[in-house]
Amino acid sequence: AQSVTQLGSHVSVSEGALVLLRCNYSSSVPPYLFWYVQYPNQGLQLLLKYTSAATLVKGINGFEAEFKKSETSFHLTKPSAHMSDAAEYFCAVSRRALTFGSGTRLQVQP
Amino acid sequence: DTAVSQTPKYLVTQMGNDKSIKCEQNLGHDTMYWYKQDSKKFLKIMFSYNNKELIINETVPNRFSPKSPDKAHLNLHINSLELGDSAVYFCASSQDNGGTDTQYFGPGTRLTVL
């Protein structure tokens, strides 16, 4: 079965600092991986997805993620955090439906 | 022009009642889903329909019954509501069933069972 693990339920960074949210996957076949963001009291919005076309994936709002098969990782990064990035972030793997990680809450301090 | 819409947004009800949540998508997608998000924010697939056919039915109590009258609609009916059913329920849709297709989520329905 495919699964993802998100390391760190809470991450706090200062505005302008690097954002790094960690996700490791477990899959016996090449996975399709996604990062979604959930703002308070809203639905989920796709940030980016890996579909085996390129290992470095660029998404919306300046986020990107790199697929590393040797490390079974798909970490999400953003060079400079903005206050508006504060939200819950979910890594997910897809087969017939999305299997989500437990989520990471990102706080951005002024 | 909302892509995936759900009604109601909030639902407060007593234990033992029966309630329904409705979902509609105007994206022309073939597949629709119901996900449950619990109080710890954990998200889990419940059901999926492709062209009105049930293709995913996870280990959900049979008090939950999805119905898809057409490709654009997927409703969720819940009988004999229990305290543990309190959660946020998200509808989603995608062009194909799983794989690389992006799933588009509705705003969620927050169900509170008293």
What is the least distance, in Å, from the CA of A13 to any CA of chain B? 21
Nearest to A37 by CA among A110, A108, A83, A106: A106
**Which of A98, A99, A105 would you mutate first to test chain B, the one with the most B CBs within 10 A?**
A98
The proportion of chain A whose per-residue pLDDT surpasses 70, expressed as a percent, equals 100
CA separation for the pair B71, B23 (Å, rounded): 11
| Contact assessment for residue B89 and residue B114, using Cβ atoms and an 8 Å cutoff | no
Token readout for B91 is 């509808």
CA separation for the pair B24, B37 (Å, rounded): 19
Q: Tell me: pLDDT of A29 over 80.
A: no
* Type of residue numbered A65: A
Q: Which helix (H) or strand (E) segment is B95 a member of?
A: none
The CB density around residue B96, as the number of other CB atoms within 10 Å, is 12
Task: Report the sign of the C-alpha dihedral through residues B73, B79, B81, B85, in that order.
Answer: negative
Return the ∠ at Cα B39 (arms to B5 and B25), rounded to 5°: 10
Max CA pair span of chain B: 40
**Which of B102, B104, B110 would you mutate first to test chain A, the one with the most A CBs within 10 A?**
B102
* pLDDT score for A28: 73
CA separation for the pair A90, B2 (Å, rounded): 23
Secondary structure of residue B84 in the 3-state scheme: helix
Give the model's confidence band at A2: pLDDT under 50 very low, under 70 low, under 90 confident, else very high. confident
Pairing of strands B53-57, B43-50: antiparallel
Question: What is the DSSP secondary-structure string of B32-83?
Answer: EEEEEE-TT--EEEEEEEETTEEEEE-S--TTEEEEEEETTEEEEEE-S--G
Contacting residues of A for B107, CB less than 8 Å apart: 42-43
Instruction: Give average pLDDT by consecutive 10-residue segment, chain B, 114 residues.
Output: 91 97 96 95 94 87 93 96 97 85 94 97
Contacting residues of B for A45, CB less than 8 Å apart: 105
For A5-26, write each residue's pLDDT tens digit. Answer: 999 999 999 999 999 999 999 9
Q: What are phi and psi of B7, to 5 degrees?
A: -140, 140
Mean pLDDT on A41-68: 92
CA separation for the pair A16, A1 (Å, rounded): 38
Inter-chain CB proximity A102 and B105 less than 8 Å? no
Mean pLDDT on A44-70: 93
Which residues share a beta bridge with B13?
Answer: B113
